[in-house]
Amino acid sequence: MSNFTFLDGGIVGFYILVVIVIGVFVRKYVSKVDQFLVAGRELNLYLGIASLTACEFGIVTCMYTAQNGYKFGFAGATPGILIALAMLMVGITGFCINPLRKAGVMTIPELFEKKFGSRVRWMSGVVIVLGGLLNMGVFLRMGGDFLVEVCGLNPQYLEITMTLLLFGIGLYTVLGGMVSVLITDYLQFIMMSIGLLVVTIMIFIKIGWADLVLAVETNHGPGGFNPFVHPEMGPAYVIFNAFVAIAVVLTWQTTIQRVLSAKDSATGRKIYKGTSPFFVCRFLLPGLWGIAALVVLTPDQVGENTIIAMPRFLSTFVPPIMMGVVVAAMLAADMSTDASYMLTWGTVIYNDIMAPLHKGKWSQRKGLMCNRFIIAMIGVFLLIYGLWYKIEGDAWTYLAVTGSIYLSSMSVLLIACCYWKKANNWGATAAIILGATLPLGFLLCQKIPATKPFTEYVGPYVSGMMTYIGVAVAMVIGSLLKPKTLQERSDNND
Amino acid sequence: MIKYFWLLLSLGCIGWYLVVLGYVAYYGAKDIRDMLKNMGINKDL
């Protein structure tokens, strides 16, 4: 029986209403495409930190990081530590993000056009949207699963609840674009931070550090503290996640869009440096919730589906009224993520995939209308895909594998574009094709009974690692194979 | 030893979050005001 009461429902409903009203209200500041997509590049440091933090933490994040805590113990926070380190290094050195911001582009593919031509820009747009939408497609279902467990919501009403929530988020994103997203992100950052801190401190007080450590020791042994000796993780897991961390920091469109919206490259770097510790918190704090579930719940109460362990634990651990604050915090986190992601993929569709159509010549009014229509269509896709796809294995690995569809090729292309003179469109095309086909092939093979044992033998980590290495090799070989005469001709055309 | 690493990291996360929450709540509101002000001016132009 859940501790969620009518009073908690009132708190949640009031919060959602306030956010949607504010998000819709600020639409009057948007009259141009660049105001809609990158808030007129007026983003400053603290709002940037709030927005990046809120965007990169949704219910889905809380679910998979808690699942990592439940399944792997403290070692489950390893990806967060790797992302934080990568982000700090990039923030300090300005590696790739300096030239990217200085180029004054709105998306990464726009930068690629300058080096590799318009065809590579278009292909990059396609893989970014494909990987991003497949990645985001499971957000709604996981958010719904959370509400069912925590609030005791009847699963019969899950679809209609998630549809209404998505409609509200879509409304302010469609009308106010990045300006609405940034301002609602600020409110959502405050709300979700309060929820995250309150529950974690309650766990420390009510359960205690000693019991958390004991549960990890009993269930996972030394592997619960050290990813290298965990039987389900090991060096392959760490290396794959290190590749993902670097690629996420350099090319994950929702993350990089904050750098592109920043006032200048120095502000972009400060946002990265200031936000980097958050990525440890993002994995470790909900990870502690997952470990707390390991302490409180028996394996029978959780069953096979370990992702529901944390919400099931919360449903009885958090007292009424506080429950309303926690659910509002989680919904806040989810709303900011969904809004940012819809806007981001919409930006790439308009700016890069549709570039041959509008050629940057459409009127501001027509451009705005088109962007709004694209975001609405992404919302429809989310509803359809989000409610039928079933994840195989753990959620973080699904997200990392689908993200790799573009993370692997885009990160290699970006590094080559910024720092390797010999890189050309042959190498870029080979990298994009290989980077998309390997992860997609892996996902398909997981679904086909005949090839499923093979995917289990190879495993997602080795497959993911090979994708990154293969893409880098394809970039180098492809670039070197292009005859000099052809290279000179395309240079002259540029 | 490694257990203390995780304890310190967990407490560090809580501490970092508390500080950043305070800073961002205050200065983030200022950033929003500035952003809307500048966008209002640019809109008029």
- pLDDT digits 0-9 by tens, A87-133: 999 999 999 988 888 888 878 888 898 888 889 989 998 888 888 88
A29, A74, A288 member nearest B39 (Cβ): A29
Dig out the tokens for A290 from the structure: 């997952």
Q: Which residue has the higher pLDDT, B44 or A70?
A: A70
Best mean pLDDT range from A66-80, A338-352, B22-36: A66-80
Axis crossing angle, helix A118-136 with helix A108-116, rounded to the nearest 10: 150
Contact B40 A26 (CB under 8 A): no
Tell me how far apart the alpha carbons of residues B21 and A188 are, in angstroms, rounded to a whole number: 12
Contact B9 A45 (CB under 8 A): no
Task: Look up the ipTM and state it.
Answer: 0.87
- At A183, which amino acid appears? I
CB A369 within 8 A of CB A33: no
The one-character DSSP state at A112 is: H
Signed CA dihedral, A357, A361, A363, A369: sign only = positive
How confident is the model at residue B44, as a pLDDT? 47
CB A83 within 8 A of CB A326: no
Q: Which residue has the higher pLDDT, A245 or A3?
A: A245
Tell me how far apart the alpha carbons of residues A21 and A32 are, in angstroms, rounded to a whole number: 21
Partners of A43 in beta bridges: A262
A174: alpha, beta or left? (left if phi > 0; alpha if psi -120 to 50): alpha
Other Cβ atoms less than 10 A from the Cβ of A468: the count is: 24
Partners of A262 in beta bridges: A43
A39: alpha, beta or left? (left if phi > 0; alpha if psi -120 to 50): left
Residue whose tokens read 């113990």:
A73
Contact A49 B21 (CB under 8 A): no
Other Cβ atoms less than 10 A from the Cβ of A250: the count is: 25
B33: chain A residues, CB-CB within 8 Å: none
B21: chain A residues, CB-CB within 8 Å: 190, 193-194, 197
Other Cβ atoms less than 10 A from the Cβ of A128: the count is: 29
Cα A264 to Cα A259, A268, A353, B21, distances in angstroms: 8, 6, 26, 24
pTM of the predicted structure, to 2 decimals: 0.82
* Chain A: residue whose CA lies nearest to B25: A190
- At A209, which amino acid appears? W
**Mean pLDDT to the nearest integer, A2-10:** 79
Banded model confidence at residue A250, pLDDT cuts 50, 70, 90? very high
pLDDT tops 90 at residue A211? yes
Three-state secondary structure string covering A418-463: HHCCCCCHHHHHHHHHHHHHHHHHHHHHHHCCCCHHHHHHHCHHHH
How confident is the model at residue A293, as a pLDDT? 94
Closest residue by Cα to residue A227 from B1, B4, B11, B2: B2
CB A8 within 8 A of CB A324: yes
Distance from CA of A51 to the nearest CA of B (A): 10
How confident is the model at residue A227, as a pLDDT? 93
Give the model confidence (pLDDT) of A150-178 as tens digits.
Answer: 887 777 777 788 888 888 888 877 787 88
Tell me how far apart the alpha carbons of residues A97 and A95 are, in angstroms, rounded to a whole number: 6
The helix/strand/coil state of A320 is coil
Residue whose tokens read 């200031």:
A274
Best mean pLDDT range from A72-81, A151-160, A176-185, A325-334: A72-81
Q: Which residue has the higher pLDDT, A240 or A333?
A: A240
CB A46 within 8 A of CB B31: yes
How confident is the model at residue B45, as a pLDDT? 41
